[in-house]
Structure 1
Amino acid sequence: MPHRHHILLIPYPVQGHINPAFQFAKRLISLGAHVTLSTTLHMHNRITHKPTLPNLSYLPFSDGYDDGFQSTGTDAYLLYTSEFKRRGSEFIANLILSNSQKGTPFTCLVYSLLLPWAAETARGFHLPTALLWVQPATMFDILYHYFHGYSESIKNPSVSIKLPGLPLLSARDLPSFLLDTCPSSYALMLSFFEEQFKELDVETNPTTILVNSFEALEPDALRAVENLNMISIGPLIPSAFLDGKDPTDNSFGGHIFQPSNNCVEWLDSKQENSVVYVSFGSLCVLPKKQMEEIARALLDCGFPFLWVIKEKEEELNCREELEEKGKIVKWCSQLEILSHPSLGCFLTHCGWNSTIESLVSGVPLVVFPQWADQMTNAKLVEDVWKIGVRVDHKMNQDGIVIGEDIRNCLEVVMGSGGKCEELRENSKKWKELSREAVKEGGSSENNLRGFLDLVGLNHDVDVSLCVAENA
């Protein structure tokens, strides 16, 4: 008997999109859907330990760069994205058509942000689409407002700006590529998001925005755009670290980096709430000067630390001293680290995946945002959810946060007294609320069931249109 729902899932080929996409696929399958996950051949081959589940299939496609995109510069990247779009659109069109002709049609295409051409292709076949938004709803709202009448106010806010449904924001809380002061190299990112929102505007069937967040976390932001159906379905975190319903679901299953060994054993030797975990995600590369300031802060504050320093980052002058006081690794299984009782705080770039994983684990944050949504995430962490502190309140003339300021923030979060206790209590509260959201009858679980019901209704209208018009 065929599945009522057959979802085609297309994540953008980077780690930050792959992880939530895999978890989303698992959730859909648990509710009776079949999922076909398609990403580039290069990314598919890099991913280790892919989930092997009944009703989950993989169909990678070539973007023309099967050994990976290696070039630098705007022109080279524009050439890559053009080829990615051309080949990806052709692949999706052929896949939709062939599945319909075989009698196993897709009922919906779900794509992650920065892939608007996937939705455009699906629209040509009357196939319903949904956007998997792997950033907070607040970030979606800011971008939506930017492209719908608020661009001048956002580009250069005089002191602060009030956008519908959002807290009061200053320039340092806004996505960096929206500001007049941002480097011209960021203009490309802005154009990609503009294309994304233009696609949403022309969609005749309202696209559902599936947000990796939960109702209690962003109640106003989820309703700030009245003419779009934005629903929370998160946190998209493996069950073993969230609701505990499936202890075997203890990994995203989408690793493109090999985790280092012995991290958990090292943490086992440390006292409860005593370790500072430091990681700036899979893409961010800090200047060596900034790395040296972080190193000085870690050494001066005296707390044991676990620091992820990627292969592409420069060697530190004080490496030997650091390895005497803490542990340095090239990569690690982040959820395992964050859920360990020895963890006291997380010094992070405040990417959304890292933020939501910390929140689910109840770990307070010291946040050091670098660009894009990280600036907005940091605002939410410090001022709205009150689960961490920012280190970037002041920088020197080179744009570097000095070690003393970083150390002070670490000591606030790792210390004792009023501020530390407030952060830990709030972290505990959000940890509990995140679990409630995904339980049976919880807001995110109900939203996901409602989404599948809606997909079923839309699909039942006329499943044969795409074959008739495109045969």
Structure 2
Amino acid sequence: MAATRVLVLPYPAQGHVIPMMELSHSLVEHGVKVTFVNTELNHGLILGALASRDSVLGGVDMVSVPDGLGCGEDRKDLARLTDSFSKVMPVELGKLVARINADARGRGRITWLVADVNMAWAFPVAKRLGLRAAGFCPSSAAMFATRIRIPEMISDGILDDRGWPRRRGTFQLAPAMPPIDTSEFSWNRAGDTRGQPVIFQLILRNNAATHLAEAIVCNTIQELEPGALALFPSVLPVGPLSSDKPVGSFWTEDASCAAWLDAQPANSVVYVAFGSFAAYDTAQLVELAEGLALTSRPFLWVVRPGSAGEELLDRLRRRAAPRGRVVSWCPQRRVLAHPAVACFLTHCGWNSTMEAVANGVPLLCWPYFTDQFLNQSYICDVWRTGIKVPRPAGGGTTTGLVGRDVVRGKVEELLGDAGTKARALALRDLARRAVGEDGSSRRNLERFVDLVKGSAT
């Protein structure tokens, strides 16, 4: 019997590529062959960040398709990127499958598509190509529920038919779910509001195609999100996903972080990272640097390539010395697992949230856009494993300066809170049980693997 070959398609952003690559490694470990599809730009970034430009990443075949944008166009403009790939990628995906299957030569034809639920437009394409389809949710189950329940929120008068809130305040979709602030729906906090219609329409198209997926797996834990998962009992929580193999980083990881952490006292380091999209101006980065310095604690700060000019970077590095260290990118999962790390100042991306959960690290929350505000609600209001960085009145995603004294004060408040640390450690133990022998996530992953492998011929 030939091994099943699966085509894996993430939304073209770092926070989506990483968990789908982790899922891909799990599939490979269970005997499934995986071909991973990135956009041409992201494909080049991933291979360029590796020591070897091999198109096989830890047993996962890497291929690419165009996203429709030209060289140098702004792919951080999510509306523009979404509009472009929605027009171009359905045709390119069909061509790719045809090429691979025509040249299978005993390697096995593609029989399944596993697509990010944010790329659910690909499910009808898969059906036309004779492929079976499954979805992967890289965000929380609560985020998935919020998007799927848009029609109910419109009928309940929470949203208008364009996705904008009709009323102010918070509400809950279900008991045990985090409160949702009507000013913070992900589709209304994805950048320039002029692009909101494109983002919202993509969500509606994805929702309409979701029923074509035979299964949906989610990078979460049953016991972590019981309320949201109760709304969709067929969704399979398989998190927290992790892998020791390369996970598709867009930038080269600074391997010296481990040695630096080894030299720090246990439970002393403030780890700071804001993911692959968040952007702050010079004044805010300077205030953050001063605030971290005022804590008198060692800190490891990731300043993503391209997010600060060389002159500013040099200034931040000088201010960090001698206790702090500024790096361009790092192996975050290994950093959070290090005993020297005391807390994590984070943008609250779901990957970062789950990695912190898996390692029992308390969180200082500074969300930037999309689902990060909902994740903050989980962290601060439901699990109580972190606290919020207060935002100035009138401050949006990129405006409103958080001063150095606020940064210092919140770091000290978090690290002085034994209850928050204890709750973070309890979630770590929960996560370990979930992926351990007979744990809920392990059983769900095995169910998914059995479904996929059952198609092998």
User: If the length of structure 1 is used for normalisation, what is the TM-score?
Assistant: 0.83
Distance 1:75 1:211 in 2: 24
Q: Structure 1 residues 261, 66: closer, same or farther in 2, change over 3 A?
A: farther
Question: SS in structure 2 opposite 1:114?
Answer: helix
**Corresponding position: 1:368 with 2:366:** yes
Offset at residue 381 of structure 1 (A): 0.7
Asked whether 1:60 is paired with 2:57, we answer no
**What is the aligned counterpart of 1:231 among 224, 230, 236?**
236
Aligned partner letter, 1:23: E
Counterparts in 2 of 1:77 and 1:105: CA distance versus 1, 3 Å: closer
Identity of paired residues, percent? 28
Structure 2 contact 55–63 (Cα < 8 Å) conserved = no
Q: Give the CA deviation at 1:117.
A: 2.8
When residues 261 and 104 of structure 1 are mapped into structure 2, their CA distance, relative to the original with a 3 A threshold, is closer
Give the whole-Å Cα distance in 1 for the aligned partners of 2:354 and 2:269: 19
Could you say which residue in structure 2 is the equivalent of 1:468? Answer: none
| Match of residue 145, structure 1, among 149, 156, 169 | 149
Q: Could you tell me which residue of structure 2 aligns to residue 335 of structure 1?
A: 333
Task: Give the 3-state SS of the residue equivalent to 1:158 in structure 2.
Answer: coil
Does 79-88 or 39-48 show the bigger shift?
79-88
The aligned amino acid for 1:426 is R
Q: Is 1:281 matched with 2:280?
A: no
Deviation at 1:295, TM superposition (A): 1.9
Residues 276-425 of structure 1: pairs in structure 2 closer than 5 A? 276-314=270-308, 315=312, 320-392=318-390, 394-395=392-393, 398-415=399-416, 420-425=417-422
CA contact 1:171–1:179 (8 Å) conserved in 2: no
Letter in 2 for 1:449: E
Letter in 1 for 2:236: I
The 3 A distance-change label for structure 1 pair 219 and 113 is: same
Distance 1:71 1:209 in 2: 27
The answer on 1:171 being equivalent to 2:168 is: no
**Partner amino acid, structure 2, of 1:446:** R
Q: How many residues align?
A: 439
User: What is the distance in 1 between the residues matched to 2:140 and 2:329?
Assistant: 25
Deviation, 1:195, is 1.8
4+ residue segments displaced more than 6 Å: 71-75, 99-103, 179-182
- Please list the CA deviations of residues 33-79 of structure 1 after superposition, one character each: whole Å capped at 9, or x if unmatched: 22222222332222144795786433333445585644787885466
Tell me, what secondary structure is at the counterpart of 2:322?
A: helix
* Inter-partner Cα distance in structure 2 for 1:95 and 1:147: 39
Matches within 5 A, 1:41-56: 41-47=40-46, 48-49=49-50, 52=56, 56=60
Other-structure match for 1:469: none
Greater alpha carbon shift after TM alignment, 277-286 vs 290-299 = 290-299
Q: Describe the SS at the equivalent of 1:260.
A: coil
Aligned to 1:211: 218
Query: Are the equivalent residues in 1 in contact too, given 2:83–2:198 (CA < 8 A)?
Result: no
Q: Which runs of 5 or more residues in structure 1 are unaligned?
A: 239-249, 464-471
C-alpha distance in structure 1 between counterparts of 2:386 and 2:76, whole Å = 35
How far 1:123 sits from its partner (Å)? 1.5
Which letter maps to 1:31?
A: H
**Distance between the aligned counterparts of 2:414 and 2:102, measured in 1?**
55
1:179/1:264 CA distance change after superposition, 3 Å: closer
Listed as ranges, the matches of 1:8-19 within 5 Å are 8-19=7-18
1:319 deviates by 5.0
* Residues in 2 aligned to 1:100 and 1:388: alpha-carbon distance in whole angstroms: 50
Q: Distance in 1 between matches of 2:78 and 2:230?
A: 36
AA aligned opposite 2:9: I
Change (3 A) 1:308 1:74: closer
Matched AA of 1:135 = S
Distance 1:360 1:168, change over 3 A: closer
Match of residue 80, structure 1, among 84, 96, 113: 84
Q: What is the distance in 1 between the residues matched to 2:197 and 2:404?
A: 31
In the alignment, which residue of structure 1 is the partner of 2:113? 109
Q: Secondary structure at the match of 1:153?
A: coil
2:300 match: secondary structure: strand
Question: Residue 424 of structure 1: CA displacement?
Answer: 1.3
- Post-superposition CA distance 1:327-354 (Å, at most 9, x none): 1111111122111111110101010111
For the pair 1:443 / 2:440, whether they are aligned, the reply is: yes
Change (3 A) 1:57 1:51: closer
1:307: how far off? Answer: 1.0
- The Cα offsets for residues 418-464 of structure 1, whole Å up to 9 and x where unpaired, read as xx21111111111122122122321111112212333455x48xx8x
* Whole-angstrom distance in 1 between the partners of 2:251 and 2:152: 39
Give the one of 236, 247, 259 matched to 1:253. 247
Q: Residues 95-114 of structure 1: CA distance to partner in whole angstroms, max 9, x if unpaired?
A: 57637997934332101133
Work out whether residues 35 and 61 of structure 2, in 8 Å CA contact, stay in contact via their aligned partners in 1: yes
Counterparts of 1:72 and 1:451 in 2: how far apart (Å)? 33
Residue-by-residue CA offset, 1:204-244 (whole Å, 9 max, x unaligned) = xx542210011111122112136xx2110111112xxxxxx
The answer for unaligned runs of 5 or more in structure 2 is 160-164
Superposition pairs of residues 85-100 of structure 1, within 5 angstroms: 85-95=89-99, 98=102
CA positional deviation for 1:357: 1.0
How has the CA–CA distance of structure 1 residues 147 and 287 changed in structure 2, closer, same or farther, with 3 Å as cutoff? farther
Deviation at 1:399, TM superposition (A): 2.6
Aligned AA (1:91) = K
Query: Which of 181, 206, 211 is the equivalent residue of 1:196?
Result: 206
Tell me the C-alpha RMSD between the 2 structures: 3.1
Give the structure-2-normalised TM-score.
Answer: 0.86
